[in-house]
Structure 1
Amino acid sequence: MAQARLEVADIFRAHGPAWRLANAGNISLDQLKVMSAIERCRTAALGGHVTRCEDCAHEHIAYNSCRNRHCPKCQAGAAKAWLAAREAELLPVRYFHLVFTLPKPIADIAHQNKREIYNLLMRVSADTVIRIAADPKHLGARVGITSVLHTWGSAMTHHPHVHMIVPGGGLSADSTKWIACRRNFFLSVRVLSRLYRRLILEGLARLHEAGRLQFFGDRTKFADPAVFHAFLQPLRKIDWVVYAKEPFAGPKAVLAYLSRYTHRVAISNSRLIRFDADSVTFKVKKYRVNGAGRHTTMTLATGEFIRRFLTHVLPKGQHRIRHYGFFGNGNRAANIARIRGLLGAKPPSREGTCGENDNDHVPRTIALPCPCCGGRLIIEGTFAPAQHPRAPPETNRTAA
């Protein structure tokens, strides 16, 4: 029999209560809610369904998901629905991938001011691309952007950065023409980096002046405007990391990429190797190393693993995926239709959408496949949270 896959939930259930007790007073309400959701996810505590496979008649108990956006088990369904909407918006052009990061000194401040600095990072990175792209010396067009906020490195350290997906071109100022960029070049990374640096530093100064930044521990000295100004000065002289990856090999490759990145959490269950009362071992990737040594393992004390995971809990209401430019939510559909018309592209087919034959007689199903044969699971009944599931009725059982 195959060994059950290790999950973050297992670590939380085994060691979460002791960790919460030891760190009482230093855990936010949002972090406590995330821990509770992950511990209860797909257990009887949330209720569930009694199902039967329509192919092999296997009877299965499917517990409900917590649907928390930080839960490693709940992202596949959310990503699938989100990607279906994005597929209908794909344009028949090349797409580019940009990454904007924050220098470590600012990332350290962001740890204590997540909402303000994460919002600044996403807003300024998008504004940087929009401004440079609109300049006739570069592209002279209004572009569309999909931005995804990540706050972690492979070892779950705090590393805020934005992954940005941009079509290779944009609308002219009067929206009557599509202006394409060069085949393998979108915008100058050097120019982007310098404007991005200036806008972030100006934004930080405004936040500090407005009293919207908080400082704790050894950073309380930054509350003094003169000290904070002196802290920012060296950052004006260093190069900030903005880089462009190879353009995607067609719109479908964009979807494959987004399926891995948009709904990712700090660590997936597939990266966990083992854990005990003292430590957790998991897979990590060294991005600055090429070859065989790039993939390795790391072992952290169990309490430190939990702390690092919870570092990446976003503030309530913080949007991790945002759209800018002609992808802005207000006019997205009209802009996409206009661009398709300019490019002479057909709208995507709507095959597989719900039709007039859908009715109450279609059996209710769940997204999970049958664990025996992979077939579709039909819902036979439900049970409430914290209740024991009833057995499927005898009439639905298949004779051996």
Structure 2
Amino acid sequence: MNILQKIFTDYYEEMIYTLHPHHSVVENVDKMIHCGDPAFGGAMYGCPHCGNMKFVPFRCHSRFCPTCGNKYSMERATSMSFKLIPVQHRHCVFTIDEDLRHFFLDYPDLLHCLFHSVTSVICRMFHKLNKSQNFTPGFIMVLHTFGRDLKWNPHIHCLISEGGYSDDGFWRNVSHFDYTFLRNAFRTALLNEMQTVIGPSFKKQKARCYDKHKKGFYVYAKPNKCDPKIVTKYIGRYLGRPVIATSRIDRYDGKYVTFHYNRHEDNKYVEETIPVMEFIQRLIRHIPEKHFKMIRYGGIYARHRDIDKKLRRSISKEKHRIYQSFHQWRTSILLSFGYDPLECPVCKHKMEFLELYYAHKRVSLEEMYEKAMSRSRGKRSSA
């Protein structure tokens, strides 16, 4: 049991009765707590060379889990690398006014508005380049709702191709992004979307935002020379990663949790100690509703477009083979965490799969090992 599992196990009931989390939060917390628990089943492997046995418990596959979330992030980054066309891309960050953040907690549907606003602004910026040919870029948007201090801070990380295809299939390179347009257009688009969802009561807040941000909301869009080989590693850090890694949790004494982070503004090391329930509240508010898509594709990367079929056909068979192999359990663990889970710790040979054990069978570990040993002995004797 890692430190995050222990924290949530100790305060599970208090979290339920005090914070009243929605169903998706409870489901993800339950999965994370029981991730790697042998009582919930797993697979038995045996070494055909020395007879050593290894039981591998099932994982929870929740993005809230530090282990499974990191693996999920690596898989999405790999998936993205096969979708990107071979051109320069730019990493942009669309942020909102600090006074608007609480609205996105009170009205969860506003998170969709963030995506809609970014999509419309990017498409409009490229449409201005040549309205008759309608140049369309490829862009991938990733929603982040947290900062390094774990506080609520919704913003969009976006990867945009430095160029676009016209309706007649002509590609045009674009090295200059209209920074002023991005800031102003994003502010206007988002505030209009928010007013549509919230209603007339938002008008005063909208006016204050226009007065406070006369140059628009902050949008980072500086050139950073991101070619496809580099860009997936860079943006992979933002692809559905867990809210906090266990390595950042320094201490837990049963009442308080101490964690650290490097402040974004000046990269200064900061250590923070807060009560357990505040720590839990900071974490669970970032768990999205079930089926909510934190990563969305737009332009020529959108899945409904015909260009997608052409992009898939252009990927070589060798790349398809590599991509499919990544999603195999052994390969993904090796690439994500740097070790081979099927390497025998005794003789270093590859271990072989023997049998699956499910939670409903209620088999003890001793019974699993005994059954697997007898099956392994049978295999060796028949060989």
Q: TM-score, normalised by structure 2?
A: 0.83
Structure 2: how far apart are the matches of 1:7 and 1:53? 32
| Alpha-carbon distance in 2 for matches of 1:259, 1:159 | 19
From 105, 114, 117, give the equivalent of 2:110: 117
Is 1:46 aligned with 2:36?
A: no
Question: What is the match of residue 70 of structure 1?
Answer: 64
Within 1, Cα distance between the matches of 2:146 and 2:87? 31
Cα root mean square deviation, aligned: 3.0
1:151-190 alignment to 2 at 5 Å? 151-172=145-166, 174-182=167-175, 185=176, 187-190=177-180
User: Which residue identity does 1:267 align to in structure 2?
Assistant: I
Distance in structure 2 (CA, Å) of the matches to 1:351 and 1:337 = 11
Q: Distance in 1 between matches of 2:13 and 2:22?
A: 15
Quick one: structure 1 residues 8 and 86, their matched pair in 2 at CA, closer, same or farther if it must change by over 3 Å? same
**Corresponding residue for 2:288?**
314
Question: What do the CA deviations read for 1:342-376 (whole angstroms, capped 9, x no partner)?
Answer: xxxx744525729xxx9xxxx99685533838875
Preserved contact between residue 15 and residue 277 of structure 1 (Cα < 8 Å): no
In 1, are the aligned partners of 2:302 and 2:308 still within 8 Å (CA)?
A: no
Q: Is contact 1:142–1:325 with CA below 8 Å preserved after alignment?
A: yes
1:254 to 227, 231, 234: 231
Displacement after TM superposition at 1:45 (Å): 3.8
Q: Which amino acid aligns with 2:277?
A: G
Q: For 1:244-283, list aligned pairs within 5 A.
A: 244-283=221-260
Distance 2:332 2:135 in 1: 42
Residue 301 of structure 2 is matched in structure 1 by 327
**Hey, what does 1:8 align to over in structure 2?**
4
For 1:365-384, what aligned pairs fall within 5 Å after superposition? 368=333, 369-370=340-341, 372=345, 376-384=350-358
Q: Where does residue 396 of structure 1 map in the other structure? A: 376
**Would the alpha carbon gap of residues 135 and 103 (structure 1) be closer, same or farther in structure 2, given more than 3 Å must change?**
same
Q: Distance in 2 between matches of 1:61 and 1:34?
A: 24
* Aligned twin of 1:144: 138
1:367 to 1:198, Cα distance in 2 relative to 1, 3 A: closer
Match of 1:95 in 2: 89
Looking at secondary structure, tell me which structure has more helix per residue.
2
Tell me if the contact between 1:326 and 1:335 (Cα under 8 Å) persists in the aligned partners: no
* Residue in 2 that maps onto 1:221: none
Whole-Å separation in 2 of the counterparts to 1:117 and 1:299: 31
Between 373-382 and 299-308, report the one with greater CA deviation: 373-382
CA distance in 2, matches of 1:378, 1:143: 47
Shift of 1:150: 0.6
The answer to whether residue 274 in structure 2 is matched with residue 336 in structure 1 is: no
Distance apart, 1:56 and its partner CA: 7.0
> Which stretch shifts more, 259-268 or 188-197?
259-268
Counterpart amino acid of residue 170 in structure 2: K
Matched with 2:184 is 194
Q: Give the aligned length.
A: 354
- Verify the 8 A CA contact 2:70 2:242 in the aligned structure 1: no
CA contact (8 A) 1:273 1:281 kept: yes
Q: Percent identity?
A: 21
What is the rounded CA distance, in whole Å, between the counterparts of 1:337 and 1:352 in structure 2?
9
Describe the superposition over 1:250-276 as per-residue Cα deviations: whole angstroms up to 9, x where unpaired.
211112123322121211222222212
Aligned partners of 1:160 and 1:242: how far apart in 2?
13
Match for 1:192: what amino acid? L
Match of 2:337 in 1: none
- The answer to whether the 8 A contact 1:365-1:378 is kept is no
Q: CA deviation at 1:65?
A: 1.0
Q: Structure 2: give runs of 5+ residues left out of the alignment.
A: 334-339
1:228 CA drift (Å): 2.6
Residue aligning to 1:350: 318
1:77/1:136 Cα in 2 relative to 1: closer, same or farther (>3 Å)? same
